[in-house]
A = this chain, B = another copy of it.
Amino acid sequence: MAAARVRSGGRPTLEEVAARAGVGRGTASRVINGSPRVSPHTREAVEAAVAELGYVPNRAARALAGNRTDAIALVVPEPETRFFAEPYFSDIVRGVGAALADTDMQLLLTLVGNDRERRRLAQYLTAHRVDGVLLVSVHAADPLPDLLEQLGMPAVMSGRRSASETLASVDSDNFAGAGAAVGHLVSRGRRAIATITGPQDVYGAQRRLDGYRAAMSEAGLGPDERLIAPADFSEEGGARAMRELLARRPDVDAVFAASDVMAAGARQVLREAGRRIPDDVALIGFDDSAVARHMDPALTSVRQPIEEMGRTMARVLLDEIAGEHRERPQIVLPTELVVRDSS
């Protein structure tokens, strides 16, 4: 006759563990949370009881009593097709997951759409549903980062909004990556090296252009604005930009596109114009995505250590939650040029 109504799916409670180990609830709690102020003998007894009973702490109770949730949110901008595209999303998730594996932190996935939703989100996040927030694909005008900062919620973003980012961030070295791409083209004897840029309100895209410019002047290939065509990270945008470049500088012999997808668009146009890759025009992309590997010819591309970025973001966030380093680290991870057939 249901002496005790089945609590929580019949799982043992801390109290039961304590009783079994012959100690008090407080002591059992101490052992489970790794407090040092427990005698070895007692500790063993509690640990044995935990094992025998298959005790797993109730998260909700913990969260309620401890005023924390042991959960972090990965906030993903839903409308951004780009972020969802290979390889970004999967790899970030994989990296974050790896960093969290040894922790008992949970990963909450939160898809948000427009700015209104983002504001509402800030409220929800603070209503103590998470201990910290991972932000990806943040635009310069995004209200969320500042909101989180005001609320004092630990947060780390991938990429930065500007050179003087106030939140903790993990970025890849877009500047050096672009430089390496241009350097490689130069070393292959290319002179009329053009670039197709990403949207300039994305800091990373800015840096790729900066890197291009710096490498060009360093190579003594003075600035020629006709070699710079703006686009928006899309395939169609890449194609359009390539057409412009061809019109303005028909002698172009290399193109550095700030994303693989734009490179794919450019390739299409080059092919239609009868230019052979890499013989007539060398082509380099950015991201080292599946698109690059399967393009024909296989695309040389600048690889970002995305999985490692995810891992690093998670680690930085965990530190921040633990109350360490209040100095908002700005981490920049190296990029790497992956040379294939297109250059």
Contact = CB atoms under 8 A, between A and B. Distances in A.
B90 A128 contact: no
A107 B73 CA distance: 10
A55 to B, nearest CB: 9
Interface residues of A, number: 48
A94 B123 contact: no
A19 interface: no
Contacts of A188: none
A48 interface: no
Interface in A56-80: 56-64, 67, 69, 74, 78
A196 interface: no
A133 to B, nearest CB: 14
A85 interface: yes
A30 B6 CA distance: 25
Nearest to A74: B109
Interface string A195-224: 000000000000000000000000000000
A111 B124 contact: no
Interface stretch (A32-40, A168-176, A179-187, A290-298): A290-298
A147 to B, nearest CB: 14
A162 interface: no
A98 B111 CA distance: 8
Given A9-B126, A60-B69, A85-B290, A101 B90 contact: no
A139 to B, nearest CB: 20
A103 interface: no
Contacts of A296: 295-296
Contacts of A58: 64, 127-128
Given A64-B64, A97-B109, A54 B9 contact: no
A332 interface: no
Interface string A5-45: 00111010000000000000000000000000000000000
B111 A108 contact: no
Nearest to A106: B108
Contacts of A123: 54, 56
Interface in A268-324: 289-291, 294-296
A119 to B, nearest CB: 12
A188 B67 CA distance: 66
B128 A11 contact: yes
Interface in A88-140: 89-90, 93-94, 97-98, 101, 106-111, 123-124, 126-129
A264 interface: yes
A140 B149 CA distance: 47
B111 A9 contact: no
A86 interface: yes
Closest 10 CB pairs of A and B: A60-B63, A296-B296, A56-B127, A97-B111, A60-B64, A84-B90, A107-B109, A86-B86, A109-B109, A60-B60
19 contacts: A8-B128, A9-B126, A9-B128, A57-B127, A58-B128, A60-B62, A60-B63, A60-B64, A63-B63, A64-B64, A78-B94, A85-B290, A89-B90, A89-B93, A90-B90, A94-B111, A98-B111, A108-B109, A109-B109
